[in-house]
């Protein structure tokens, strides 16, 4: 993609072998065959087979498939139920995930849709309409208000030409275009006034331009290319699941090896010992874990949708929980993308109403009333003046009926003024003028209260400087009373001897809820950063008002970034809170610099220019209402209400989802450790029979374990979660404290089960039925113990009784369902035979009940000992980070 703004038009015409009269039909056809159509490349979509493989290559899935294969091979195909159920779970998990990821390539489709279907082109000296796809470099196109620019083009000539480039540059005000012969090579895209960008909209005027780039060579094509090249990395959750898979694989192999070695030492049958070891290894794998994680994420997606956030890919839900930096676009994301009058300054003796009348009459914007509120269409600046006047009782339509327009002098970038002539209310005529304050004030000789003094002029200039210093766009208005209607409206003759009426200070204001959302970000340890294509002063002012830029924070522009090596940017990235006048490449560099520093980056945006950074970020958040379809297609999440605060709520939800997934993993693994400990210990002690038979293990793994784990997935977000720093995405799930809890709680469950087994075998078993009673008591204790233990896992450190024993209705239902299913197995004769259990006596039931409920008081004592000096239910607040928790600017 070359640069075309920095050379004379004559040189560009020579390079493209063209001229202002355009190409011939033959030249156009030859070039079309050589460079291809003016369309974006279509990447080959992945086949269904590749998408399925993408799901199956997950480490946890591979472990499960290996376990299923070993189980089927070791049993000789006779005991096929375990393997079949594992394969069904894998298939269901893949289907759920693929259904959530059907929009992976929408961004490019929407980019193609934005291309103009037809274009007016000059060929062989005549204007004709052709499909935009047939444009080639060297073509001359003609454009007017309402046209979509069909290709990147260099302006040859124009009249009052303006283009809305907000989707590409972030500039909230239409850009005035002019056919300058050459600009400096390092001119940012948003300041290239002699160029038109493909996919942008002509809002005013007309012009003729020379096509310099088509298809993938355009600025939009460059963005599409970045979307094609950028590959998404693993999410933190996917890395954690890979970590779990490795741990489980090591555990399974270790169990097999140790069990096999023990059997050889004890002189047992080698084949039988191998089958026992493999059965225990298969039992150690929580078969339902991938499906449970997928379902928990899917339920999180539904909750986020109710809060205004639509998540396209399941793992992105959890990624939100560890976001530590939010790189937010300004226009339309933090601001309203609507110019608004913020201040009105009038000279001494003047009235605001006179300034409002001038602002609404000297305008091409048109006032409308929608649901009782004023709204205007047209140029954003003019629309803001018309709306401001209407809010102060100056209705444009009624005012124009009283003072009809008789003529106008259009705005010109050379003189920076616009004038309209109106009939007076009581005879005579009035010329209203608006434009740049420094230019207009030079032509004013009076104010409504008398002659314009030097002191009065200085006061007006100081007011202008004060507004400009606060990044307000300043418009001055004036009038000239005429006794007769002029025959011709000549700017030099008419726009002098004016009466100065006042100044308007305008800006695209911040969203009302954005400031509170930024405050919540700081409280949660999340660093908000503004990235915009707007000017430095405007961006910095908005950032200061919202609290994004605090004392000591710096602002940097795109041209300055061009001279900064990526290594330096990565080192100094935390010093900058505002990035202004940036291009799509800059946005990607910024996102990757934060990622290089170890941060999980969320990127919000709504324009075409945001799409590459949205895709490169760990979590891309597009605006649903004002966002372009391109941005929505590239993002991982869409905010349906265009509310910046929704992403903060989504981060809170993401933290809760991760916590719940961790709880589910904690519950499943601690229960499985209990099962392993029970069987492993029984094998070492050579008790003559196993405490649990295979069908009982299958029942535990696939039924009793899964329901409470799912209930943990909908656990309400714990209090204080947004007062903690983001977790380290690189930190392992199995840290010391988590591994210790898994170990001792698993040993607790296993120990209680073995206790029940020995009570049945040595104490409570009836003569001749000791083995059956021991097996039944162990099975009943282990199952019910796991159901009660699920309540302990609801919080790491908060007391269950402070949290509320019955506060999670899903857990209550899971417990009752699991209890009913287990009692059915233990009490119904047909099921007793299937699961190899026998009826229990009253004493045996009492022993089972006491052992099963024991995990609750044991874990309550453990939680109490772990929180010395804090009241029950209070969560510790970690120390603030210098990067993320900073004092407000003074």
pLDDT (tens digit, 9 = 90+) per residue, 294-325? 777 777 777 888 888 888 776 777 778 888 99
Q: Determine contact, residues 829/846, Cβ cutoff 8 Å.
A: no
Burial per residue of 584-606, b for 16 or more beta-carbon CB atoms within 10 angstroms, e otherwise: bbbbbbbbbbbbeeebbbbbbbb
| CB atoms inside a 10 Å sphere around CB 219 | 25
- Long-range (24+ apart) CB contacts under 8 A made by 176-180 are 176/413, 177/205, 177/207, 178/413, 179/9, 179/155, 179/207
Half-sphere exposure of 334 (CA within 13 A, CB side): 31
What's the pLDDT score for residue 67?
62
Identify which has the larger pLDDT, 280 or 637.
637
**Residue 450 DSSP one-character state:** E
233 Cβ contact list (under 8 Å, min separation 6): 618
Give the closest residue to 174 by CA, choosing from 131, 147, 153, 204.
Answer: 204
Mean pLDDT on 459-474 = 92
872 Cβ contact list (under 8 Å, min separation 6): 798, 799, 801, 802, 863, 864
What's the pLDDT score for residue 238?
60
User: How many whole angstroms separate alpha carbon 343 and alpha carbon 842?
Assistant: 84
Taking only Cα atoms into account, the Rg of the chain, rounded to an integer number of angstroms, comes to: 36
What's the pLDDT score for residue 869?
47
Angle between helices 736-758 and 842-853 (to 10 degrees): 170
Which range among 35-49, 70-84, 169-183, 228-242 has the greatest average pLDDT? 169-183
Under the banding of pLDDT at 50, 70 and 90, the label for residue 554 is very high
pTM summary value: 0.67
**% of the chain with per-residue pLDDT over 90:** 32
Under the banding of pLDDT at 50, 70 and 90, the label for residue 278 is low
Please measure the distance between the N-terminal and C-terminal CA atoms of the chain and give it in whole angstroms: 45
**φ, ψ dihedrals at 89, nearest 5°:** -60, -45
746 Cβ contact list (under 8 Å, min separation 6): 669, 670, 671, 672, 673, 674, 676, 677
Mean pLDDT on 438-448 = 93
Each residue's pLDDT tens digit, 88-125: 656 765 665 565 455 434 433 443 454 346 788 998 88
Asked if the model's pLDDT at residue 374 lies above 70, the reply is: yes
Q: Determine contact, residues 368/390, Cβ cutoff 8 Å.
A: no
Tokens linked to 420: 């309209």
User: How many whole angstroms separate alpha carbon 79 and alpha carbon 90?
Assistant: 19
β-bridge pairing 405-412 and 417-423: antiparallel
User: How many whole angstroms separate alpha carbon 384 and alpha carbon 389?
Assistant: 9
557 by DSSP, 3-state: which? strand
Tokens linked to 79: 């005991």
Q: Determine contact, residues 161/410, Cβ cutoff 8 Å.
A: no
Mean pLDDT on 504-528 = 89
Asked if the model's pLDDT at residue 3 lies above 70, the reply is: yes
Each residue's pLDDT tens digit, 119-142: 889 988 888 888 888 999 999 999
Q: What angle do CA 221, 225, 226 make, to 5 degrees?
A: 120
Give the closest residue to 878 by CA, choosing from 737, 729, 727, 731.
Answer: 727
Each residue's pLDDT tens digit, 856-865: 999 999 888 8
618 catalytically annotated: no
Asked if the model's pLDDT at residue 883 lies above 70, the reply is: no
What's the pLDDT score for residue 457?
93
User: How many whole angstroms separate alpha carbon 720 and alpha carbon 422?
Assistant: 63
Asked if the model's pLDDT at residue 293 lies above 70, the reply is: yes
Asked if the model's pLDDT at residue 234 lies above 60, the reply is: no
Residue 643, phi-psi category: left (phi > 0), alpha (psi -120 to 50), beta (remainder): beta
Under the banding of pLDDT at 50, 70 and 90, the label for residue 280 is low
Cβ-based burial of 359 (10 A; exposed 0-12, middle 13-18, buried ≥19): buried
Mean pLDDT, all residues of the chain: 81
Tokens linked to 782: 């282990």
**Least confident piece of the model among 171-180, 455-464, 840-849:** 171-180
What's the pLDDT score for residue 60?
56
Beta strands in 378-441 (DSSP E): 405-412, 417-423, 429-435
Under the banding of pLDDT at 50, 70 and 90, the label for residue 631 is confident
User: How many whole angstroms separate alpha carbon 95 and alpha carbon 52?
Assistant: 8
User: How many whole angstroms separate alpha carbon 430 and alpha carbon 485?
Assistant: 9
352 Cβ contact list (under 8 Å, min separation 6): 344, 346, 392, 502
DSSP conformation letters of 406-417 = EEEEEEETTTTE
Catalytic option among 217, 329, 534, 553: 329
Consecutive H or E run containing 341:
strand 340-345
Asked if the model's pLDDT at residue 889 lies above 50, the reply is: no
What's the pLDDT score for residue 111?
39
Each residue's pLDDT tens digit, 670-680: 888 888 888 87
Q: Determine contact, residues 347/462, Cβ cutoff 8 Å.
A: no
Each residue's pLDDT tens digit, 745-762: 999 999 999 999 999 888
What's the pLDDT score for residue 383?
93
Under the banding of pLDDT at 50, 70 and 90, the label for residue 648 is confident
DSSP conformation letters of 167-205 = HHH--SSPEE----S---TT--GGG-TTEE-TT-EEEEE
Beta bridge partners of 503: 345, 476
Give the closest residue to 176 by CA, choosing from 188, 192, 190, 193.
Answer: 193
User: How many whole angstroms separate alpha carbon 794 and alpha carbon 715?
Assistant: 7
User: How many whole angstroms separate alpha carbon 121 and alpha carbon 123?
Assistant: 6
What's the pLDDT score for residue 272?
57
Q: How far is CA 522 from CA 532, 545, 770, 873, 889, in A?
A: 20, 15, 63, 24, 13
User: How many whole angstroms separate alpha carbon 288 and alpha carbon 709?
Assistant: 9
User: How many whole angstroms separate alpha carbon 585 and alpha carbon 685?
Assistant: 66
What's the pLDDT score for residue 890?
31
| CB atoms inside a 10 Å sphere around CB 129 | 9
Q: Determine contact, residues 207/155, Cβ cutoff 8 Å.
A: yes
> CA 120: distance to chain centroid?
39
What's the pLDDT score for residue 94?
67
What's the pLDDT score for residue 108?
37
User: How many whole angstroms separate alpha carbon 666 and alpha carbon 749?
Assistant: 13
Each residue's pLDDT tens digit, 246-265: 676 677 667 767 767 776 77
What's the pLDDT score for residue 1?
55
Each residue's pLDDT tens digit, 203-219: 778 899 999 999 888 88
What's the pLDDT score for residue 196?
92
What's the pLDDT score for residue 756?
93
């Amino acid at each position: 993609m070359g640069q075309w703004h920095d050379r004379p038009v004559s040189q560009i015409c020579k390079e493209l072998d063209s001229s202002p009269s355009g190409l011939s039909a033959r030249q156009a056809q030859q070039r079309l065959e050589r460079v291809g159509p003016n369309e974006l490349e279509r990447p080959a979509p992945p086949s269904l087979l590749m998408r399925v493989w993408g799901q199956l290559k997950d480490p946890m899935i591979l472990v499960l498939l290996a376990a299923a294969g070993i189980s089927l091979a070791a049993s000789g195909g006779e005991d096929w139920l375990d393997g079949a159920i594992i394969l069904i779970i894998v298939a269901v998990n893949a289907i759920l995930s693929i259904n959530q990821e059907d929009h992976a390539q929408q961004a490019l489709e929407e980019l193609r849709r934005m291309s103009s279907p037809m274009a007016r082109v000059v060929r062989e000296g005549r204007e004709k309409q052709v499909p935009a796809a047939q444009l080639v470099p060297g073509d001359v196109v003609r454009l007017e208000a309402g046209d979509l620019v069909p290709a990147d083009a260099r302006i040859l000539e124009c009249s009052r030409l303006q283009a809305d480039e907000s989707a590409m540059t972030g500039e909230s005000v239409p850009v005035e275009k002019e056919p300058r012969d050459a600009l400096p090579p390092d001119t940012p895209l948003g300041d290239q006034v002699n160029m038109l960008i493909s996919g942008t909209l002509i809002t005013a005027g007309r012009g003729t331009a020379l096509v310099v780039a088509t298809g993938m060579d355009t600025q939009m094509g460059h963005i599409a290319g970045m979307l094609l090249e950028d590959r998404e990395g693993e999410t933190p959750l996917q890395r954690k699941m890979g970590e779990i898979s490795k741990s489980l694989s090591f555990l399974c192999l270790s169990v097999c090896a140790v069990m096999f070695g023990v059997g050889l030492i004890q002189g047992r049958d080698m084949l039988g010992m191998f089958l026992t070891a493999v059965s225990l290894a298969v039992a150690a794998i929580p078969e339902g874990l991938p499906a449970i994680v997928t379902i928990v994420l899917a339920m999180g997606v539904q909750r986020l949708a109710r809060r205004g956030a639509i998540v396209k890919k399941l793992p992105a839900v959890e990624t939100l929980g560890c976001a530590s930096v939010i790189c937010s676009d300004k226009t339309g994301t933090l601001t309203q993308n609507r110019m608004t009058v913020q201040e009105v300054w009038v000279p001494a003796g003047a009235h605001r109403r006179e300034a409002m009348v001038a602002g609404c009459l000297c305008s091409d914007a048109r006032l409308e009333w929608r649901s009782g509120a004023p709204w205007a269409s047209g140029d954003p600046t003019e629309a803001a003046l018309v709306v401001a006047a209407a809010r102060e009782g100056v209705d444009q339509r009624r005012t124009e009926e009283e003072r009809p327009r008789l003529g106008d002098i259009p705005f010109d970038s050379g003189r920076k003024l616009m004038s309209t002539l109106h009939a007076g209310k009581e005879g005579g005529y009035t010329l209203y003028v608006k434009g740049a304050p420094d230019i207009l004030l030079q032509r004013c000789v009076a104010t409504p209260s008398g002659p314009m003094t030097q002191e009065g002029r200085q006061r007006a200039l100081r007011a202008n400087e004060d507004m400009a210093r606060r990044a307000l766009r300043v418009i001055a208005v004036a009038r000239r009373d005429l006794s007769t209607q002029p025959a011709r409206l000549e700017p030099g003759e008419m726009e002098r001897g004016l009466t100065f009426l006042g100044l308007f200070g305008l800006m695209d204001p911040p969203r009302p809820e954005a400031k509170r959302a930024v405050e919540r970000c700081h409280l949660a340890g999340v660093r908000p950063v503004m990235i915009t294509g707007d000017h430095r002063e405007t961006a910095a002012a908005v950032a200061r008002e919202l609290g994004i830029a605090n004392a000591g924070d710096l602002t940097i522009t795109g041209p300055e970034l061009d001279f900064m090596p990526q290594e330096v940017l990565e080192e100094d990235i935390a010093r900058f809170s505002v990035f202004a006048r940036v291009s799509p490449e800059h946005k990607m560099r910024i996102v990757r610099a934060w990622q290089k520093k170890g941060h999980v980056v969320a990127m919000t945006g709504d324009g075409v220019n945001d799409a590459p950074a949205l895709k490169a970020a760990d979590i891309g958040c597009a605006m649903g209402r004002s966002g372009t379809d391109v941005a929505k297609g590239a993002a991982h999440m869409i905010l349906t209400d265009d509310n910046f605060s929704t992403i903060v709520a989504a981060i809170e939800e993401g933290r809760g989802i991760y916590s719940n997934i961790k709880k589910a993993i904690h519950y499943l693994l601690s229960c499985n450790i209990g099962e392993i400990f029970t069987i492993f210990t029984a094998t070492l002690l050579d008790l003559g029979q196993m405490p649990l038979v295979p069908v009982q293990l299958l029942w535990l793994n696939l039924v009793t374990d899964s329901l409470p784990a799912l209930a943990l997935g909908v656990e309400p977000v714990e209090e204080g979660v947004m007062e903690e720093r983001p977790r380290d995405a690189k930190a392992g799930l199995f840290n010391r404290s988590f591994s210790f809890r898994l170990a001792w709680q698993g040993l607790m469950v296993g120990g209680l089960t073995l206790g029940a087994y020995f009570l049945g075998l040595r104490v409570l078993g009836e003569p001749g039925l000791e083995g059956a009673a021991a097996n039944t008591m162990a099975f009943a204790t282990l199952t019910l113990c796991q159901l009660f233990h699920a309540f302990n896992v609801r919080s790491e450190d908060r007391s269950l009784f402070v949290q509320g024993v019955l506060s999670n209705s899903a857990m209550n239902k899971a417990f009752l369902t699991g209890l009913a299913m287990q009692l059915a197995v233990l009490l119904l004769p047909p099921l007793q035979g299937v699961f190899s259990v026998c009826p229990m006596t009253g004493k045996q039931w009492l022993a089972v009940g006491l052992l099963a409920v024991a995990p609750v008081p044991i874990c309550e004592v453990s939680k109490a000992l772990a929180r010395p000096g804090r009241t029950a239910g209070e969560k510790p607040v970690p120390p603030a980070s210098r990067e993320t928790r900073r004092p407000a600017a003074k």
